[in-house]
Amino acid sequence: MSWPTTADELAAWQEELARRRVRAWSPAPASAVGACVVCFPRGKTGAGARGDRAWAAAVARGDTAVVRGEAGARYVPGLLALREGPLLEAAVRALPRAPDVLLVDATGRDHPRRGGLATSLGAVLELPTVGVTHRPLLATGEWPADRRGAVAPLRAGDEIVGCWLRVQAGVRPLAVHPAWRTDLEAAIAVVLGATPRVRTPEPLRVARTAARRARAADMG
């Protein structure tokens, strides 16, 4: 499956993905949780432009892969896949072994067309995905109780599209987004299992560190 190259193509594809009915995935105790992250040059102002230098990293099963490239488009909310999708796909495909489920710094159904980057990346890779962000895109909801594992729904209109998840007492909760082949229960279990000590899930932390180190090495 190839990525759309225009905003209209992507919007139509996002709507089609949101309508698909796919076999649900459920985590097992030994499920390998991977993650992928992309970063761009530091110090630039504005939302980002097409052609920005980019470093994408993916981790799974103890392996790390980093790819270098350029942003495919300027940053536009709701169209993040045009900017980052192919870079993240390349990083995950560079891993010697794919994970069982992939954490993505992006949303799923919390999106104008219910098809955020976490969903579209999973469809391209044919991997279950879970989105993890610091804040929702469109959805709203009150924070959960201040204890590990507490959840509170995030709603877009009348639909529950994700949740706030408290991974540690005393710190801000994460926004968790079911995406490709995952429901809310599976998404919560994956994120909690991948976040034993600090606020950021460990695979995402490792991937982000790898991408930033590659950026630092290339830019001095």
Which domains can be identified in the chain, with CATH numbers?
Answer: 30-219 (3.30.2170.10)
pLDDT band at 88 (very low <50, low <70, confident <90, very high): very high
pLDDT band at 101 (very low <50, low <70, confident <90, very high): very high
Q: List, for residues 169-201, the tens digit of each pLDDT value.
A: 999 999 999 999 999 999 999 999 999 888 899
For residue 202, the cross-strand partners are: none
Say what the pLDDT of residue 45 is: 64
Give the span between the Cα atoms of 126 and 178, in whole angstroms: 15
Sheet holding 151-156, edge to edge: 63-70, 53-60, 33-39, 101-104, 129-133, 174-178, 159-165, 151-156
Say what the pLDDT of residue 198 is: 82
- Say if residue 133's pLDDT is above 90: yes
pLDDT band at 4 (very low <50, low <70, confident <90, very high): very high
pLDDT band at 48 (very low <50, low <70, confident <90, very high): confident
- Regarding pTM above 0.85, the answer is yes
Which spans in the chain are helix H? 7-19, 80-93, 117-125, 184-193, 202-219
- Say if residue 99's pLDDT is above 70: yes
- Say if residue 220's pLDDT is above 80: no
- Say if residue 44's pLDDT is above 90: no
Contact 31, 100 (CB under 8 A): yes
- Say if residue 16's pLDDT is above 80: yes
pLDDT band at 63 (very low <50, low <70, confident <90, very high): very high
